[in-house]
Amino acid sequence: MAGEDRSRTPRAGSRVPGAGSRVPGAGSRASGAGSRASGSGPGPSLTGSSAMTRTRGRLDQPKEPRRQLLPEYDPEAFGRFSERIARFLGTGRFIVWMTLIIIVWVLWNVFAPTPLRFDQYPFIFLTLMLSLQASYAAPLILLAQNRQDDRDRVTHEQDRKQNERSIADTEYLTREIASLRMGLGEVATRDWIRSELQDMVKDMDERLSVFPAESDEDR
């Protein structure tokens, strides 16, 4: 019996390591769950980044101003300036001043002392200045013409709308006058009443002239 107890004792002891071996498995499961929990951690960060991108791409919010490399300017002010230049270039004053400047330029560089001549024959600097003036004058004139065309287009559009309204008003008045004429044709006028009364008086006079005795008896 004692031997049997001794033989059973190691068996019971042998189960203890087995139970102990199960503990690391549970620990591994816990670590696996922890790793899953840690793996599920980046989920909210991804949703947060997507929310940031969504807030940036919303249409109900104004966009941030972008930096521009070119300097900003007022197109309306520049257009008015170009129109002033174009008006001045199209006047006789500009032709007279340009002619005087060219004459003085040529005379100075021909008859002035040699050290004082700054643009001798063939007047290359004068040609360059005139070419520069023409190269700037042509776009400015075109810009002024485009602005004038835009104004003319707007004016023509307003005139067309005004003409359409005038035609519509005229047609309406014509229909109203026609309806009034038709209505007045059915109304008794003063001349018509007068003519009817005159006809009745004539009929009564004729009856009196035909039947005078009856009229005397009635009296």
pLDDT at 56: 57
**DSSP code of 116?**
G
The 10s digit of each residue's pLDDT in 110-161 is 888 888 888 888 889 989 999 998 888 888 888 888 888 888 999 999 999 9
pLDDT at 63: 74
Q: Which residues of the chain have pLDDT under 50?
A: 1-46, 51-52
- CA–CA separation, 105 and 121 (whole Å): 11
Report pTM.
Answer: 0.44
144 CB burial (10 A radius; 0-12, 13-18, 19+): buried
- CA–CA separation, 204 and 121 (whole Å): 119
Are 147 and 79 contacting, i.e. CB atoms less than 8 angstroms apart? yes
Considering only CA atoms, which of 45, 47, 43, 65 is closest in space to residue 55? 47
- CA–CA separation, 125 and 116 (whole Å): 15
